[in-house]
Amino acid sequence: MNAVPAFAIQSLRPRILERRARLEAAAEALPADYVNDLLCEIDAALERIDAGTFGLCEVCHDTIEAARLEQNPMVRFCLDHLSGEQRRAHEQDLELATRIQSRLLPPREVMAAGWETHYRYEPAGAVGGDYCELIPEGEGTGLFFAVGDVAGKGVAASLLMTHLNAILRSLLSLELPLAEVVARANRLFCESTSASHYATLACGRTTADGVELCNAGHCRPLILRGGGAERVDPTGLPLGLFCNGRYTTRQIPLTRGDSLVLYSDGITEAQDPQDNDYDEERLIRALQAQPGADARAMAGAVLSDVVRFRAARPQHDDITLLIVRRR
């Protein structure tokens, strides 16, 4: 029995064969010993696929981390059994990824005319695949905001998040309509990543009357006003699934004291020791338990409630919570 599901091997084998073809094409310009070593490494991976041992650590025979196989199909050892040199290289990669991701995150609180925001970003590991953005627009009179979730976890997901971040920041500089920003981001993300990669995204802009919102397959944003809560359904598919995807926006009126809440499923799918999900309803109750509170207090109350709910159960997914509140 294969250590990796058959459908995953079907996608990895062509990538390994492509590496072999590219190596052979460049062989004349490289040292022969170096080329032979790499060819042996590639052939060994193909042999592991044929023998049904692909994806198993050669020391403990447990399954190698899926994200690492996706990133490099040649890996032969799980994280627990890396050599000293490999472990140091892995730690350096994590440290670099952590620094890059921390620098890409926006300031914790961004104010625009009549608006206050606060977000909390808590990756499950050293780095995460959630995306959070706050960018003032119109000389500080408006605000672009977004929360997203790239498929996968760890370093591989964080690299895709960085890619999505660069795409959106580049498009925002063109001052395009929101629906066009998302449509172009989808096309660029789709054309520059593999078919197995996608990202959900909820984003919007503040307006004179409230917010303009676009939801590409992400968790349903919540509108809090007058003691009640409204859910906003998606207006399009996740980014990266279809290059010609279409996206629409919704205009949502917000008055003084109203809030828009964006979040990732690391909150609603957090589980307690009995395998119960935190779910959307509990999130709403935690938010409504803070009447009149500012965005920072609301976010802190929710994250504290999630920790109480999980009890001794560890965090298994990245958590992002963004609150945009009209002052």
Q: Which CATH architecture has domain 6-81?
A: Up-down Bundle (1.20)
Higher pLDDT, 124 or 200: 200
pLDDT in tens, 160-183: 888 899 999 999 999 899 999 999
Mean pLDDT across 301-311: 95
The confidence score (pLDDT) of residue 167 equals: 94
Higher pLDDT, 109 or 67: 109
Mean pLDDT across 12-34: 85
**For the chain, what is the HEC assignment?**
CCCCCHHHHHHHHHHHHHHHHHHHHCHHHCCHHHHHHHHHHHHHHHHHHHHCCCCECCCCCCECCHHHHHHCCCCCCCHHHCCHHHHHHHHHHHHHHHHHHHHHCCCCCCCECCEEEEEEEECCCCCCCEEEEEEEECCCCEEEEEEEEECCCHHHHHHHHHHHHHHHHHHHCCCCCHHHHHHHHHHHHHHHCCCCCCEEEEEEEECCCEEEEEEECCCCCEEEECCEEEECCCCECCECCCCCCCCCCEEEECCCCCEEEEECHHHHCCECCCCCECHHHHHHHHHHCCCCCCHHHHHHHHHHHHHHHHCCCCCCCCEEEEEEEEC
Mean pLDDT across 5-34: 81
- The pLDDT of residue 21 is above 60: yes
Topology of domain 105-326, per CATH? Phosphatase 2c; domain 1 (3.60.40)
The confidence score (pLDDT) of residue 106 equals: 81
Domain limits, the chain: 6-81, 105-326
Q: Which range scores top for mean pLDDT: 57-71, 100-114, 193-207, 298-312? A: 298-312
Local confidence band at 193 (pLDDT 50, 70, 90 cut-offs): confident
Higher pLDDT, 250 or 61: 250
Local confidence band at 134 (pLDDT 50, 70, 90 cut-offs): very high
Mean pLDDT, the chain, as a whole number? 87
Please tell me the pTM assigned to this model. Answer: 0.74
Tell me what percent of the residues of the chain surpass a pLDDT of 90.
47
